[in-house]
C-alpha cells in the first residue's frame, strides 16, 4: 500500500512538471527579422518618416534602413517578435500590410520581403 501511494505521488508530480513546462514553452516569444526592399524612394525624409512609423508599431524591437539615393532604392531591416499563442484580433499585433500601405502613401513602391526566424532569445 505504501509503495502504491509512493507511485501515485510520483505520477502526480511528473504530470504537474510536464504541464508546467509546456505552459512555460508557450509563453516564450518567437523572434523574426524582416528585410523589406523599397524602390522609387524620393527622399530620405520619407524613409525617416517610415522608420518612425515602424518603430512605433507593437512588438517591433529594432528598425534600421539602408538608402541608395543614386538608384532610389532602400531596404528596411527590422526585428520583431510574436507570441506563440497569438490572437489575431489583438491590437498588439503589427501587420506587414500596414507597413506596405504607409509606403504607398509616401509614394514608394514596396519590393521584396524576406522574413527570417531567429533563435529564441
Q: What structural domains does the chain harbor?
A: 29-117 (3.30.70.100)
Q: Is 36 exposed, middle or buried (0-12, 13-18, 19+ CB in 10 A)?
A: buried
| pTM across the whole model | 0.71
Q: What is the model's pLDDT at position 56?
A: 94
Percent pLDDT > 70 in the chain is 74
Per-residue pLDDT tens over the stretch 80-120: 998 766 555 555 667 899 999 999 999 999 999 999 999 76
Which of 62, 63, 57, 65 has its CA nearest to residue 95? 57
- Please determine, for residue 24, whether its predicted confidence score (pLDDT) is greater than 60: no
Give 69's DSSP letter.
Answer: T
Please state, in angstroms and as integers, the Cα–Cα distance from residue 110 to each residue in 13, 29, 39, 88, following that order: 54, 28, 6, 24
Continuous segment of H or E residues that includes residue 70: none
Amino acid at each position: 500500500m505504501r509503495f502504491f501511494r509512493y507511485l501515485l505521488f510520483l505520477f502526480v508530480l511528473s504530470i504537474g512538471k510536464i504541464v508546467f513546462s509546456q505552459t512555460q514553452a508557450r509563453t516564450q516569444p518567437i523572434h523574426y527579422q524582416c528585410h523589406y526592399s523599397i524602390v522609387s524612394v524620393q527622399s530620405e525624409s520619407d524613409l525617416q518618416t517610415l522608420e518612425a512609423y515602424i518603430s512605433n508599431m507593437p512588438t517591433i524591437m529594432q528598425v534600421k534602413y539602408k538608402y541608395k539615393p543614386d538608384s532610389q532604392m532602400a531596404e528596411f531591416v527590422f526585428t520583431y517578435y510574436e507570441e506563440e499563442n497569438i490572437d489575431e484580433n489583438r491590437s498588439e499585433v503589427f501587420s506587414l500590410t500596414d507597413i506596405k500601405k504607409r509606403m504607398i502613401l509616401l509614394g514608394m513602391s514596396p519590393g521584396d520581403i524576406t522574413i527570417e526566424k531567429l533563435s529564441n532569445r
